[in-house]
Structure 1
Amino acid sequence: MPAPQDEVERRRALRQHRAFASGLLVLAAVIFIACSAWQSQGEAPGWVGYVRAAAEAGMIGGIADWFAVTALFRHPLGIPIPHTALLPKKKDQLGTALSGFVGENFLNAQLITEKVAGANIPQRVGQWLAEPDNAALVSREAGKLTANAVRAIDPADAEALIKTQIIDKAAEPLWGPPAGRMLEQLIADGKTEPAVEAVIGWARTKVYGMEETVVTLIDDRMPGWAPKFAKSLVGERVYKEVVEFIEDVDRDPDHEARHALRRFISQLAEDLQHDEVMIERVESLKADVMGSDAVQGAAADVWAAFSRNLIAAATDENSVLRVKAAELCVTWGTRVQEDPTLRDELNRRLTGVVSFLADNYSGEVTAIISETVERWDAEEASDKIELMVGKDLQYIRVNGTLVGALAGLAIYTVSQALF
């Protein structure tokens, strides 16, 4: 239905055209009456008969077409003549017929698939996307859609989804056995050696910076009667031995200390999988971690950061996301143009989807038409339809008056010529 401002304009135009058609009918009636009066006085010239015949036939044609047009929407003059006010009476049948017509002629699976297949849509889409300007347009519009979709999501719903589907799901299974199996696989792949090196490097760094601490510790542990120089010598000697030990471990890839670290990691992988005490410790740690305020409040922080960054990337034409989207469009469009096998496959899939939709959902689509028409108020629907097409229907009345006048004139002329 038209917008309110358009409806006002349509009603004004309908009144004007209706007034013109009615005025033409009144004019024909006035001419007929004037000619009839003139002829009744016996002094009218011969041409008056021709004018009178034209006006009479035009008046009859105008009245007939006025009746026909009016009978579509209401009872003429309010008289309930049979087969008038057709639209209010036949509204439901009209909706059913219209839905059937649309279903048979527009949503026919064979017709639609033939049209889609002949349109060569993949080739056209690929050619269009291969243009950088068009690819940039797609990237821009997709970015707007993405940003608007993210803004439309209720943060509370997003946070609840993150918490239930990620945080809570992560806390459900036992952590120990999976961690043990993962560690065991890392050991088998030789991926734990960096951890061994990291421990040795950490120990080396600590030892190099604790000479004073070692000497002081030795001094405190030695008897008070020992000479001070002896304490210093012992402390320095102990520190030197520790440094030499660490350096040996650092240089020798087959050092026993390294093997001890590897055995510890292997035993840890075993304990994480099979030692109930270790598994319980990990579960206790998991409960502490997952129950902490930091983790429980992480959903809000995760969604805030994710949504903010995604919106920023989607709206920034120079972002990696937007640039990659445009490049992907150009690449895909070029490939579709150059690869006939891909085009055929896309065309086959497209026609398959269209055929499936037409076969399975055309009834639902056409049912919308009939159901919508059935819900219309009969009088209001008739008024709205007349508002949409009534202006054009008034030309039928005008044509009826003019054509009737010409036909009457022609008949009268032939009659005069013959008789």
Structure 2
Amino acid sequence: MAGLFVAARLLQPRYPWLGFAGAFAEAAMVGGLADWFAVTALFRHPLGLPIPHTAIIPRNKDRIGANIAEFLEHNFITPEVVRDELKDVDFAGVSARWLADDANSRAVAERLVGTIPAVLNMIEDRDAAEFVGGTLASSLKDVRLAPVLAQVLSVLVAGGQHVRLLQKVLGLVGNALDENRSYIRQKVHEHSPKWMPRMIDEKFFERLMDGIQSILDDMADEEGDWRARFHDAIDELIHNLEQSPEYEERLRALLTRGLGHPVFRAYVADVWRDVRARLLASSASPDSRLLLRAQDALRVFATALGQNEAVRAKLNDWLKSFAVDAIVERRSLIVAVVRRVIDKWDADTIAQKVELHVGSDLQFIRINGTLVGGVVGVLLYSLSLLLGGH
């Protein structure tokens, strides 16, 4: 523009129309220099001169950081903005499709199974027994055991399960008698007087076995007195469990003694040791059944989730609500991180970062300022000619 200005001024006496070019170049130089000064003053002192109100970004770094953090907090990390951004995200669907891939479900299963040894090694056998006993005791302390047992028995009775159970028990007793006839005969002979003839012992044994078998047959008879008394006993037991505080106290005392008994704790500890050993062995194998079952379970879950739109919608609603609450509740922490990072930057660094990110746009600002200044110069030159002509 400076060269154009000089050339236009030198040639204007010969070519008067170059007055427009000179006016354009003159105003363009002013506009370009003004915008260069303005843009440069944002990041540093122009020409290194400490002119007031220059190097704006370095001088106001802390205030800019605080304003950016506050702007993020009140304009970006708000419930409305976060909820609106997440409304079309299908978390459940994306997760289901991702887990349906064998490689992904295998990777997740390996991670899950891989955490088992670390978790198991943190738990002592005694702690496991105390945890099981304490958990059962605390879970059942507010539960009325007798009515619950009465309801279970009522369900069994309604379905005829108590009769099947009775028949099963009678069958087991009958089989036990048949399988141990010789043992019972021996015991009868051992407890009989030595002077009693063996034949009488044998008769006594046969009558004893026939009597027991007769009782079992009567109990198995659906129309017999034994069956009627059995039904009456069950009904009475259900009634007592529902109404009698004494039964509740007995069950509670029985449960308390059982959970606190050393035998129960030792049994739980033995079971825990066995389970832990099996889990550790299974988690160490790359082709363990535990790993394969975990992978199958993940695939089944992914398939079911992908096919059930209602469950997927509910899961998405829950995840979005959780994400909104988690992000908004912690926005002060996010904002604090932004403020701390900006505070750690030195003034020159932040000026360079901003200038590098918007450098091309800043160059166009200078170019546009030059062109706009030139156009304004032409308009003013034209206006001066019009006014001079009058």
TM-score relative to the length of structure 1 = 0.54
- Work out which of the residue numbers 297, 308, 312 in structure 2 matches 1:332: 308
Instruction: Say whether 1:237 aligns with 2:211.
Output: no
Instruction: Say whether 1:206 aligns with 2:169.
Output: no
In the alignment, residue 259 of structure 2 is paired with which amino acid?
M
Name stretches of at least 5 consecutive residues in structure 1 with no aligned partner: 1-27, 36-49, 337-341
CA contact (8 A) 1:219 1:235 kept: no
State the Cα distance separating 1:93 from its structure 2 match.
4.1
Instruction: Say whether 1:293 aligns with 2:277.
Output: no
CA contact (8 A) 1:180 1:272 kept: yes
CA contact (8 A) 1:62 1:397 kept: no
State the Cα distance separating 1:193 from its structure 2 match.
0.8
CA contact (8 A) 1:140 1:322 kept: no
State the Cα distance separating 1:326 from its structure 2 match.
3.8
CA contact (8 A) 1:175 1:282 kept: yes
Q: 1:62 to 1:171 in 2, by over 3 A?
A: same
Name the CA distance, whole Å, in 1 between partners of 2:326 and 2:295.
41
Name the CA distance, whole Å, in 2 between partners of 1:216 and 1:61.
125
Instruction: Say whether 1:85 aligns with 2:50.
Output: no
- Work out which of the residue numbers 60, 77, 81 in structure 2 matches 1:107: 81
Name the CA distance, whole Å, in 1 between partners of 2:353 and 2:274.
54
State the Cα distance separating 1:299 from its structure 2 match.
10
What is residue 192 of structure 1 aligned with on the other side? Answer: 162
Q: 1:163 to 1:404 in 2, by over 3 A?
A: same
Name stretches of at least 5 consecutive residues in structure 2 with no aligned partner: 7-20, 386-390
CA contact (8 A) 2:99 2:105 kept: no
Name the CA distance, whole Å, in 2 between partners of 1:229 and 1:401.
130
Q: 1:270 to 1:98 in 2, by over 3 A?
A: closer
CA contact (8 A) 1:313 1:322 kept: no
CA contact (8 A) 1:143 1:322 kept: no
What is residue 253 of structure 1 aligned with on the other side? Answer: 222
Q: 1:154 to 1:248 in 2, by over 3 A?
A: closer
Any residues of structure 2 matched to 1:162-201 within 5 Å, and which?
166=136, 168-170=138-140, 173=143, 175-201=145-171
Q: 1:280 to 1:386 in 2, by over 3 A?
A: same
Name the CA distance, whole Å, in 1 between partners of 2:351 and 2:154.
81
Instruction: Say whether 1:389 aligns with 2:354.
Output: yes
Deviations 1:125-168 (A, max 9, x none): 97x89xx9767239945972895599499666997987765553
For structure 1, which segment, 132-141 or 211-220, has the greater mean C-alpha deviation from structure 2 after superposition?
Answer: 132-141
In the alignment, residue 160 of structure 2 is paired with which amino acid?
G
Matched pairs, number: 344
TM-score relative to the length of structure 2 = 0.58
3-state DSSP class of the match of 2:345?
helix
Query: In angstroms, what is the RMSD of aligned CA positions?
Result: 6.1
Q: 1:215 to 1:177 in 2, by over 3 A?
A: same
In the alignment, residue 388 of structure 1 is paired with which amino acid?
K
